[in-house]
Amino acid sequence: MRIRKGDRVQVMSGKDRGKTGEVMRAMPAENKVLVSGVNIAKRHTRAVRATMQGGIIDKDMPLPVSAVAIICSKDGPTRVRYEFDADGNKRRVCAKCGETL
């Protein structure tokens, strides 16, 4: 999976198409990402104790990683490619312009 926690991504398909946000959590085993402010569901909760209040809570739900694209500072949404630098270190690179992400 080429998208990590902390990346700025744009949703490419679905009901939230065009929205951008930061990846809060990456789940490589499930091929899903949790993006802040995107794919929000209403969760109805019951008051369990006297101190905990019940009501409707907005909850971020995971998206398939194939539905999001990382945002390059120059080109906007793009794919990610891997390259090795002169020292032999692997780095993520924008597929359009070649800039390090």
> What is each CA distance from 30 to 5, 8, 26, 48, 90, in whole angstroms?
15, 20, 9, 31, 24
pLDDT in tens, 42-91: 999 888 877 778 888 899 999 999 999 999 988 889 999 999 988 989 99
- Nearest 5°: phi and psi at 47? -70, 115
Report the DSSP beta bridge partners of residue 44: 56
pLDDT band for position 32 (50/70/90)? Answer: very high
- Residue pair 77/85 in contact by the 8 Å Cβ criterion: no
Which domains, and CATH codes, for the chain? Answer: 8-94 (2.30.30.30)
pLDDT band for position 1 (50/70/90)? Answer: confident
Buried b (16+ CB within 10 A) or exposed e, 20-52: bbebeebeeeeebbbbeebbeeeeeeeeeeeee
CA distance 95 to 99: 8
- Confirm whether pTM is higher than 0.85: no
